[in-house]
Structure formats: structure tokens, C-alpha cells
Chain A
Amino acid sequence: MNQDIYIVIEHLRGQVADISYVMLAAARDLAHNTSGKVVAILLGHNSDHLAKNLAADEVLYANHLALTDFTSFSYQLVLSDLISKHLPRAVLLGHTSIGTDVANSLSVHLQIPLVSSVRNFTSNGKFVSQICGGKLMAEGDLPAPSVIATLVPGGYKPEHGQSTQPPRITPVDLPAMEELRVSLINYVEPEAGDVDISKEALLIAVGRGIQNQDNIILAEELSQALGGVVCASRPVVDQGWLPISRLVGKSGKAVKPKIYLAIGISGAPEHAEAIIGSDVIIAINTDPAAPIFNIAKYGTTADLFDLVPLLTEKVQQIKNS
């Protein structure tokens, strides 16, 4: 048992994911409380160069051909072996499509409690999780002696998890990498789509509040009048009302337009994290408690079905005059 904080570094196709740096910053915060070290775990194949800017006291590096790309099964084999040998105070993983694929199985396999959706740790070492679409925060004591936590972005700046001093890298012994029951077949590139929403300056975004496909035209008309592009949150794309190339969020694009006009979007964390880089967010949502108002500069609870057509008409009048 030790007081160190371990972070599982996420990387995809040669790029360290931002959440890894967020976790390193969080780990530093937590290690301050436990008087332990910040130890990064890097799994890969010939990928030690990815460790160079990690703000960690040490990097445990697992190098194997079977770790070239992430798969839940191979990661779990290596991580359970490593964590059971070291038993750190806490192991942090991303609350992402990589981190959550292994955090749960580690919790069960190693009988270590798991807390999910952690946004930050308090100065006295409690965890704070963000739940119910960002509408509630849940705080609690970190289970002892060890805990596994999955982290969401928002609580720490990624640059605080970066360092110009390369950390010490320690290769680790690996368990037998056999009978892998999960394998990567190939990556499928995203559809190019007609526009790249991550490069647009004015985005008109629609969410669940738009109610049905026929109403998408309200956003398209406003977008056309203003000279912007229509994009959407997850429920709209899942319904097939707009193509996946227009998806803003965790599995879609992160955007940073000059203006992001969110229509009928609640602002769940998966969406909020992808629009936080926008210069100005304007939100239209009838729910005054919608989390989108916590990140928007301007907001209104007017009914979009009253407001948007009127707005389009006035914009058209100004453009035509």
C-alpha cells in the first residue's frame, strides 16, 4: 500500500488526449494531500516519446506489440497486474470511451471501490462528481485504502498537467499477453461531410428541444440569414435528423466559433466540454435550471418556437435593408 496517485495515460493514434493532462493536474492536487508521488502509467508500443511532457514524478511504461492500440482486454490485463502489485492510494482514468472500458473491470477484479464522473478534488481530499446531466454535484470521502476514479474535464486546466522537464521512465514487467478476447480490426475515419464545423465562426446548434425533424428548418433558416452553419447535440444526430458530421460533443467535434447559438440544448457535460472554447455562447432554453446557462454569456428562457422565427425575420429585414 502506498500514498501515490496513479494516472492511466490515454492516447489515440500517437496523440496524448487532453484528459490525460487534466488527470495529471488533478493527481498533483490529490498527491499534495496524501504526500505521495504522481505516477503516470503509459501503455503502448514504441510510444515512450508520448511521456516527454507529462507532469509526473515517474512514468511506468508498459511496452508491447499488443498495446499498440487501445483494447479493453489487453489494458485490463496489464493494469490489474500493475495495480495489484503497487496498490496506490488512487488510480485515475478518463471518464471516456477508453477509461470507462477498463475502470469498471479493474474495480471488480481488484475489489477496489470506483467513483465516476469526478470533476475535481476538494482541498481536504473529497471527490466531487458531476451527475444528472450537469445539474447536480455529489461530494464524498474517497474510499480507503485504495480507490479508482474516472475523471471528466472541467475541473483542471490541461496545461497544469504538462511539464517541460521529461519525467523518469521506468519499464515494467508484463503479464502473459495471451488469449486476448478483444481485438482492434481497423479504425473507420469520420465522414468528411459537407462542412467542417470545427472551423466555422458562427454555429447555430440544435438540441432535443427542437422536438422533431420538421423543426430543424427553423435553425436552418436562421443560420442562412446570419451566415452560419447548423450543428447539433447527440439526441438530434441519434434520431437521424442531422448527419454525424454535424455532431458537437464527446464523440463528435469540439468547436470554438466566435458565436455559438445553442437552441434547445440543456448543456450536459458531454456537450459542454466540446463548446467551452467558443468566444460567446448564447443559449435559448425554456428550463431556467439548464446547465447551458452556466457556461453561456447570454441566455433566454423564451420559447424557441416563438423566438427563432421572429429572430430570423428581423435578421433578414436588416440584411435586406
Chain B
Amino acid sequence: MKIVVPVKLVPDLVEELTIDPSGTALDTSWLRLIINEFDDHAIEQAILLKERSSGHVTIITLDAEEVDDMLFAAAAKGADKLIKLVGNFESVINNHALARALVPLVQDLQPDLILTGVQSHNDLDGSLGALLAEYLHMPYVGYVSGVSAEPGRAIAHKEYPGGLTAKIGINLPAVLGIQAAEQPPRYVAISKVRQMMKTAQIDEHEVSSVDSSGGARITRMYQPEVAERATMITGDANETSDKLIVIFQELGVL
């Protein structure tokens, strides 16, 4: 089974997010990028399927400063082929444009299954996997947290609200948007990643032009205005715990 996993890097939300002087975009100058956590789960799910049925896993991502480390880590986990899209595109490329850029490359790879994160937190024009599916004329199922596959067909466990899931049959080739892998993304030792840096190869695929149609132009980006923020309890841990005890007593818990 040939599996392709398109992966995106996204801003690390642990860092402070600031708006650039234009007021319409994130200031990316000091922004730390990390792998989209849903894509991390998609990689894990792909490796799990490979381990079950001797498949071949290709990871594709956009060129960025931190991206090689992420690709080598995926190789250390068991990915067989690493590709990055390079070109003179802007640092922010929307999902429609990225999906279109991936189409010829993915068509050449002829995968049975494309797994990608169901969403990323900075999506503004839909999600990559679902868009890619339609450009490739493949069926799509998202919010998937378990996959089994056989030639020509996969069964995806799709999540609904309230803990309900559904077993969905889907004809292959297909695209699945992964919410969670069947097990947490595996840990790989740094030594193994370093070894991959010496032995694994990253293929570069040139993207000549980017077509961003299909999204919307942002005219203002800002931090949410809040009608009423929490009353903040200040002081050290001891003082804070005393104040919380008083709140618990007022609320009738103690």
C-alpha cells in the first residue's frame, strides 16, 4: 500500500503571537514553527498501516527553516521517502494554493491512500486534505481516528459529537483527514534522527507558480476583544491557594 502524507508547519501557540505592521497578518519574523499536531497523528497512522501491511510512506511538506528536522524525524519513525516543495513563494501560502501545487506530484506518486491532519489551527480557507481530495477527484472522509485498509477499500472510524463514531467504508484511492492516530505519535530518539540526517535523502520539488484563488483576503487581524475577562487571582502559590479556598467556600464546595 502506497501512502502519502502531506504535512504542514504551523506557529507554536505556546509562543506569543504578534500582528505585523500591516495589521492583516501574523508577524512571522520571530515565529517558531512546529509540525501541525494533526499531521503528526497522520504520520503515525501511516506508519501503523505500513507496519501492518508492508506499505511505503512518503512525507511531503513545504520548504521552511525548521522543516528538514521534521522530515528526518518522520524518516526515523519509518517514513520511506521525504519530499519538500521549494520555490519562490510567499511564506504564507493558503490551502487552495498548496493543494493545487501538490496535485501533479501526488499524481506521479500514485498513492492508494493520502493521510493528512484534519485541520490546522491557522486554516482560513478550508483544510488541505479535503481540498486536495477534490482536486484529485478522490473521495474524502475527515475527523478520522482509526483506519484499516485492504486493496481497493479502507474503513475509517469517523468521529461525531458526544463520543459517537461511525465506521465508514471508502473506495481507494482516497484522502482521509486524521483527527487522531490509533496510538499517540511515537517518540524517536535524537540519535536516530541524527542518523537519518546522514543517511536519508530529501527530494526537492520545484513549484513554479502559486495560485491563491479560492481563499479570502484578510483586511484585519487582531486579538479577540473580550467583554469580561476572568478576575485574576494574584500572589504566590500559597496566597493563590488561600484565595481559591475562599472561592470554593463561597461556591459551597467546602
Which residues of chain A are near B124, meaning CB under 8 Å? 115-117, 129, 131, 138
Known A109-B134, A300-B240, A314-B241: A182·B164 in contact at CB below 8 Å = no
How big is chain A's contact interface, by range?
35 or more
Q: Convert A278-307 into 0s and 1s, putting 1 for each residue whose CB lies closer than 8 angstroms to a CB of B.
A: 001111000101010111111111110011
Q: Report how far A301 CA is from B233 CA in the complex, Å.
A: 8
Q: What does the 1/0 interface line of B7-47 toward A look like (CB < 8 Å)?
A: 00001011011010000001000000000010001000000
Q: Contacting chain B: which of A36-44, A54-62, A165-173, A240-248?
A: A240-248
Query: In whole angstroms, what is the CA distance A138 to B26 when docked?
Result: 10
Query: Nearest chain-A residue to B142 (Cβ)?
Result: A101
Min Cβ gap B185→A in Å is 9
On chain B, the residues within 8 Å of A141 by CB distance are 216-217, 219
Question: Shortest distance in angstroms between A10's beta carbon and chain B's nearest beta carbon?
Answer: 10
Give the most central of B13, B180, B220: most A CB within 10 Å: B13
CA–CA, A266 and B170, complex, Å: 35
Q: When the two chains form their complex, are residues A188 and B166 in contact, meaning their CB atoms are under 8 A apart? A: yes
Residues B130 and A266 in contact, CB atoms below 8 Å apart? no
Chain A nearest Cβ from B207, distance in angstroms: 18
Judge whether B189 is part of the interface by a CB distance below 8 angstroms: no
Contacts of B194 in A (CB 8 A): none
Question: Considering residues A131, A147, A244, which has the most beta carbons from chain B within 10 angstroms of its beta carbon?
Answer: A131
CB pair B247–A100 under 8 Å, yes or no, is no
How distant is the Cα of A293 from the Cα of B232 in the complex, in angstroms?
A: 9
Q: Convert B118-160 into 0s and 1s, putting 1 for each residue whose CB lies closer than 8 angstroms to a CB of A.
A: 1101111111001101110001111101000000000101111
Q: Which residues of A contact B233 (CB under 8 A)?
A: 298-300, 302
B219/A139 in contact, CB under 8 A = yes
Chain B residue contacts of A114, Cβ below 8 A: 96, 125-126, 214-215
Given A130-B224, A140-B216, residue A101 in contact with residue B162 (CB < 8 A) = no
Does A133 belong to the interface (CB within 8 Å)? yes
Residues in B whose Cβ lies below 8 Å from that of A16: none
What is the chain B residue whose CB lies nearest that of A112? B214
Beta-carbon nearest neighbor of B221 in chain A: A138
Known: A72-B140, A114-B125, A132-B11. A191 touches B133 (CB 8 A): no
Q: Please indicate the chain B residues that have their CB under 8 angstroms from the CB of A49 in the complex.
A: none
* Residue B192 CB within 8 A of the other chain: no
> B14, B133, B240: which has the most chain A beta carbons within 10 Å?
B240
B87 contacts the other chain (Cβ, under 8 Å)? no
Q: How far is the CB of A132 from chain B (nearest CB, A)?
A: 5
**Chain A residues in 8 Å Cβ range of B190:** none
| A101 engages B130 (CB within 8 Å) | yes
Q: Is the CB of B122 within 8 A of A319?
A: no
Q: Which of B11, B14, B237 has its CB near the most chain A CB atoms (within 10 A)?
A: B237
Interface pair B167/A186, CB less than 8 Å apart: yes
Residues in chain B near residue A135, CB distance under 8 A: 13, 17, 223-224
Give chain A interface residues in 204-250, CB to chain B under 8 Å. 226-227, 234-235, 238-240, 244-245, 247, 250
Instruction: Give the distance to chain A from B142, nearest Cβ to Cβ, in Å.
Output: 5
Chain A 158-196 per-residue mask, 1 if CB under 8 angstroms from chain B, else 0: 000000000000000000000001111111111100000
A251 with B224: CB separation less than 8 A: no
Given pairs A190-B164, A226-B248, A250-B161, 11 additional interface contacts (CB within 8 A): A100-B127, A101-B143, A130-B224, A138-B124, A187-B164, A188-B164, A252-B163, A254-B162, A301-B232, A302-B237, A319-B254
Interface set of B (CB-CB < 8 Å, partner A)? 11, 13-14, 16-17, 19, 26, 37, 41, 96, 99, 118-119, 121-127, 130-131, 133-135, 139-143, 145, 155, 157-171, 174, 177, 179-180, 183-184, 213-224, 226, 229-234, 236-238, 240-242, 244-245, 247-248, 251, 253-254
